[in-house]
Chain A
Amino acid sequence: MAVLVRDHKPVVIVDNAKVTYRVYASGKAVGENDDSRVKRQGNLRTVEAIKGVSLIAYEGDVIGVIGTNGSGKTSLMKAISGLTPLDGGKIFASSRPSFLGVGAAMLKELSGEKNIILGGLAMGYSRTEIKEKLDEIIEFSGLRDFIDLPMRTYSAGMSERLKFSIAASREHDILIIDEALAVGDSKFRKRSAERMKELAKNAGCVFLVSHSLKTILETCNRAIWLDNGVLRADGEALEVCRAYAEEVGADLDD
Chain B
Amino acid sequence: MSKLSDLAATNGLDRVGKRPKLGFYLAEVFRRRAFAWTLAKYRLLVSTARSRLGIAWLIVVPALQITVYGLIFGLVLGSSRPDNFLPFLIVGVVLFQFLAGSFSDGARSITSNSALAKSLSFPRVLLPLSAMVSQWLKFAGLMTLALVFLPIFGEMPRWSWLMMFAVIGLASLFALGIAMISARLTVHFNDLSQLIPFITRIAFYASGVFFSVERLTAGLPWLSFLEWANPVSVYLALARDVMISGHPAEGWLWAVGAVWGVVALVFGFFFFWSAEERYGRAG
Contact = CB atoms under 8 A, between A and B. Distances in A.
B13 A93 contact: yes
Interface stretch (A120-128, A153-161, A195-203, A236-244): A120-128
A105 B116 contact: yes
A110 B49 CA distance: 8
Contact of B2 (A9, A15, A81): A15
A70 interface: no
Interface in A55-84: 56, 78-84
Interface stretch (B118-126, B161-169, B249-257): B118-126
Main secondary structure of the interface of A (DSSP, over half): mixed
A81 B16 contact: yes
Contact of B38 (A56, A92, A101, A117): A117
B31 A124 contact: yes
Interface stretch (B40-48, B220-228, B230-238, B258-266): B40-48
Interface string B7-30: 110011111111000000000000
Given A104-B120, A122-B116, A126-B34, A93 B280 contact: no
Contact of B281 (A84, A97, A101): A84
Contacts of B119: 83, 99, 101, 103-105
A114 B16 CA distance: 30
Contacts of B11: 9-10, 13, 94
Interface residues of B, number: 39
Contacts of B115: 103-105
A103 B119 CA distance: 7
Interface in A144-188: 150
Contact of B122 (A12, A14, A103, A122): A122
Contacts of B39: 118, 121-122
A122 B32 contact: yes
B123 to A, nearest CB: 11
A15 to B, nearest CB: 4
Given A78-B118, A109-B49, A122 B34 contact: no
A93 B17 CA distance: 10
A52 to B, nearest CB: 12
B278 interface: yes
A109 to B, nearest CB: 4
A3 interface: yes
Contact of A103 (B2, B118, B280): B118
Contact of A15 (B5, B50, B113): B5
A11 B13 contact: yes
Interface string A83-120: 11110001111101101010111010110001001110
B187 to A, nearest CB: 12
Interface string B112-155: 01111111111000000000000000000000000000000000
A82 B17 contact: yes
A3 B4 CA distance: 9
A54 interface: yes
Contacts of A101: 119
B50 A109 contact: yes
Interface in B203-231: none
Interface of A: 3, 9-16, 54, 56, 78-86, 90-94, 96-97, 99, 101, 103-105, 107, 109-110, 114, 117-119, 121-124, 126-127, 150
27 contacts: A9-B11, A15-B4, A78-B280, A82-B17, A82-B121, A83-B119, A83-B121, A83-B280, A86-B17, A90-B4, A90-B5, A90-B8, A90-B15, A91-B15, A92-B15, A96-B121, A97-B16, A104-B115, A104-B119, A105-B119, A110-B46, A110-B49, A114-B42, A118-B39, A121-B38, A122-B35, A126-B34
